[in-house]
Amino acid sequence: MKPFLSLENLNKQFGQFAALNDISMTIEKGEFICFLGPSGCGKTTLLRMIAGLESCEQGQIWQNGANITHLPPEKRDFGIVFQSYALFPNLTVFENIAIGLRQQRASKVAIEQQVNHWLETIGLPEIGDKFPGQLSGGQQQRVALARALILSPGLLLLDEPLSALDAKVRIHLRETIRTLQKQLGITTIMVTHDQEEAMAMADRIVVMNHGVVEQIGTPQAIYQQPASRFVAGFIGVMNFLDLAGGKKGGKKGQPHIIGVRPEDIHLTASAAGSADSLQIPVRIERTEFQGPLLRVECQLIDCSSTLRADIPIHQVTTANLTPGTETCVWIEHRRMQHFRQEEAV
């Protein structure tokens, strides 16, 4: 079967500036995809190209078997929610949600029934008569979501819909969006620069940097097998060790960098299994109690690098972790990621 959405070799220039560089990917029907990357990497530009809000001079976009590359937005099949609430302030919530149906000249009864259904679905059945200014940010984003979904689009596009909300509301609403998305089975692309949000919500994450796709994969694959040093450093915490070529634990020959997660650094040989591990002498710099784990910052004795180790709290035994103590850490070879030196930034 053909993918639901297919982006083929998309490029975007703003004058001399290349905002997107040869972007290709396929997205299956019903998938929840996150575009994730630092500010300015091109996430919004790519989303807007899919919506037809940004022109596409190079490459092709296919949706549901049709070439939509040059279709105007109103001829495309999507609903969109932006970061800022973008509701019409002078219209009631009911009328904001009803706009699409009114444009389609739906009957009064159908509009009444549909809008009320969506007010129920977003968990705000009583607010139809209110104006956007009378709602909280989270409530406004729910209304924006209902407005985007009421015409049953094939594709839902979300540009940082949660980033203006406070942490608690954000986490609650991300569950709402995810549940609703699965219920409806609607193919969804959400732009975010929050890696935790992407990990929690996405079936697959597209990691972008400087207008290129660095990696596409499930949250687990991206965390466990980062394709580049950039991805390794951007997602979660990663220690980077600069080991000279040929040194124990390194691939022989060319110099390269080893990445290792804090949870894969052990303070006792027994925890790691000594033969398959790299042993590194360190000096304890400081420790930080974090509830389920103890975060230990150490300084490598042989060089200037520092390491961050996360030790499960129940494994912190009588080991002397007083700052200044010299000890060893162990890293299993199979937990090390190898990156080429020239990728270093």
Ligand X SMILES: Nc1ncnc2c1ncn2[C@@H]1O[C@H](COP(=O)(O)OP(=O)(O)OP(=O)(O)O)[C@@H](O)[C@H]1O
Smallest gap from Cβ 74 to ligand X, in A, equals 20
**How many angstroms separate the CA atoms of 275 and 288, rounded?**
30
Q: Is there binding between residue 39 and ligand X (CB under 6 A)?
A: yes
Do the beta carbons of residue 342 and residue 256 sit within 8 Å?
no
Residues 85 and 102: beta-carbon distance below 8 Å: no
Q: Measured from the CB of residue 92, what is the shortest distance to ligand X in angstroms?
A: 30
Instruction: Give the residue, chosen from 5, 31, 42, 135, that forms a contact with ligand X under the rule CB under 6 A.
Output: 42
Nearer CB in complex with ligand X: 44/114: 44
x/- site string to ligand X, residues 15 to 34, per CB under 6 A? --x-x---------------
- The one-character DSSP state at 69 is T
Contact 196, 164 (CB under 8 A): no
Stretch in the footprint of ligand X (CB under 6 A) among 14-22, 142-150, 196-204, 302-310: 14-22
Which of Mg ion, ligand X, none is residue 193 near (CB under 5 to 8 Å by kind)? Answer: ligand X
- Count CB-CB contacts under 10 A for residue 14: 10
Give the footprint of ligand X on residues 81-110 (CB under 6 A): none
CA distance 264 to 20: 35
Are 144 and 118 spatial neighbours (Cβ–Cβ below 8 Å)? no
Q: Which of 43, 76, 142, 170 binds ligand X (CB under 6 A)?
A: 43
CB of 88 to Mg ion, least distance (A): 22
Nearest to 130 by CA among 178, 170, 167, 97: 97
State which H helix or E strand residue 328 sits in. strand 326-332
With CB cut-offs between 5 and 8 Å by kind, which of ligand X, Mg ion, none does residue 39 bind? ligand X
Considering only residues 33, 41, 135, 157, which one is a binding residue for ligand X as defined by CB under 6 A?
Answer: 41
Q: Which residues bind Mg ion (CB under 5 A)?
A: 44
What strands, in cross-sheet order, belong to the sheet with 32-36?
Answer: 78-81, 155-159, 187-192, 32-36, 204-209, 212-217
Q: How far is the CB of 204 from ligand X (least distance, A)?
A: 18
User: Is the Cβ of residue 49 or residue 149 nearer to ligand X in the bound state?
Assistant: 49
- Burial (CB count within 10 angstroms: exposed 0-12, middle 13-18, buried 19+), residue 300: middle
**Residue (193 or 266) nearer to ligand X, CB:** 193
Q: Which does 14 bind (CB under 5 to 8 A by kind): Mg ion, ligand X, none?
A: ligand X
Q: Which of 142, 193, 261, 335 binds ligand X (CB under 6 A)?
A: 193
Binding residues vs ligand X (CB under 6 A): 14, 17, 19, 37, 39-45, 193
